[in-house]
Amino acid sequence: MPHNLKQHYSAVVVGGGQAGLSASHYLKKHGIDHVVFEKKTITHKWKDERWDAFCLVTPNWQCQLPDHPYDGDDPHGFMVKDEIIAYVERFIKKVDAPVVENTTVRLVERMPHGAFSVETSAGTVTADSVVLATSLYARPAIPRAAERLPDEILQLHTVDYRNPQQLPEGAVIVVGSGQSGCQIAEDLHLAGRKVHMVTGNAPRCARFYRGRDVVDWLSDVGQYEITVEHDGMTKKKHDTNHYLTGRDGGRDLDLRKFALEGMKLYGRMEGVSGGKMLFAPNLKANLDNADRVYNGINALIDKHIAAHNIDAPPASVYSPLWEPASEPAELDLAAEGISSVIWATGFTPDWSYVGLPIFDGTGYPVQRRGVTGIDGVYVLGLPWLWTWGSGRFLAVGKDAEHVVGHLAGYLERADEKSFRQTATGR
């Protein structure tokens, strides 16, 4: 065991991203001794798992890490990759968390007397409480159909994509139309690459509407304060994020516009066979559903403007710029000169290290704003843990403050119980 690692802590935090660091910030405020275990390095995901042109999708003012709000001069702009890393590094320096990097947590389990054993690659420690802050984005999800692609085709997940120059000459398939997929497809499209986009059920959102960023309107409407416990919101934690971009000052991402400019669009991928990629006949439905959400968000803003008699530019409704003439059933990879496939198919969580009964039938932790049903066990950094911003810079700090407040109360009650037992001999 490293010489600076103690045998026992009041709290162990698993994961050194923004959620784990936010937890450490509040643990230090409460004077709770703790350690943060990080599998790689604190800034690994920002530095090593984002493409070169990556930027924030939400405006800079939404960067609200604990006691570390956005400190630049462009609150309504969108920080690019290097600026995001610098913002996070300033937070890291400010928190000065007791992080042990390049250390894998292998098993967290409860011991008979109630404390927790935390087995790591650096040794085993014990703790009175544990905060699991490893998010749902642990492992790139790539469908098994990828194994049937020809060997000569380069395959990358979004975490490994950096720029168009990284890919061999030829056409590129981007599988998945969530935020990352659409932004990478645009990156390739702007570079003059022939792009084939395989769509899914991701919704989309306008960047600007009626004179303001849509995020600003939605903040005024109160969307970012709605909790997962509101009517109809319980399934939100599994939803795909809306696609749009902050690139070059921010704009809509409209797959129909890309189609007019030469990008080829397809329905959901159903498999790979005989050198062909196969698709479901739901391209039109995917595009229509994305536009329905787009117009629905704008209609919500229209209602807010009318209710508050706000002076704003006139309302509008998006009308499709392009309609698919057919539903392509397959794509001959060799005939279309496909040289690369980018898998924008998301991630799967890795809870294999958690030896505690805290999960539902889908593998999602059962919790209420980060507090699980097991005393002393907490989760942080998950999408819709409590609100829309729970897994992001906007609200991860608020959730961390709540979790650590509960954790501090738990430790205090446990200490009082131990004192009473010692005093009475029972």
Same domain for 284 and 147? yes
In a domain, 287, yes or no: yes
Local confidence band at 137 (pLDDT 50, 70, 90 cut-offs): confident
From residue 175, alpha-carbon distances to 130, 145, 240, 255, 270 in Å are 37, 12, 14, 13, 11
234-245 average pLDDT score: 80
Same domain for 203 and 163? yes
Q: What is the rounded average pLDDT for all residues in the chain?
A: 94
Same domain for 38 and 184? no
pLDDT for residue 417:
66
In a domain, 271, yes or no: yes
pLDDT for residue 21:
98
Same domain for 319 and 403? no
pLDDT for residue 232:
64
Run of H or E residues at 150: none
pLDDT tens string 1-47: 555 899 999 999 999 999 999 999 999 999 999 999 999 999 999 99
Same domain for 191 and 267? yes
Distance between CA atoms of residues 200 and 241, nearest Å:
12
In a domain, 1, yes or no: no
In a domain, 45, yes or no: yes
Same domain for 307 and 161? yes
Same domain for 76 and 163? no
pLDDT for residue 195:
98
pLDDT tens string 102-131: 999 999 999 998 899 999 999 999 999 999
198-204 average pLDDT score: 97
- Domain end, chosen from 343, 358, 391, is at 343
pLDDT at residue 418 greater than cutoff 80: no
pLDDT at residue 73 greater than cutoff 50: yes
Same domain for 213 and 126? no
Judge contact between 245 and 251, C-beta under 8 A: yes
Same domain for 271 and 315? yes
Same domain for 148 and 236? yes
pLDDT for residue 419:
38
Same domain for 56 and 175? no
Same domain for 67 and 96? yes
Structure tokens at 161: 């994509």
265-285 average pLDDT score: 98
Q: What is the DSSP letter of 296?
A: H
Structural domains counted in the chain: 2
pLDDT for residue 422:
43
Strands (E), 168-245: 171-175, 195-198, 208-209, 212-213
Q: What range defines the domain where residue 376 resides?
A: 8-138+349-424
- Say which CATH number the domain at 371 has: 3.50.50.60
- Domain end, chosen from 343, 361, 393, is at 343
pLDDT tens string 365-398: 999 999 999 999 999 999 899 999 898 999 999 9
In a domain, 2, yes or no: no
Share of the chain above pLDDT 70, in %: 95
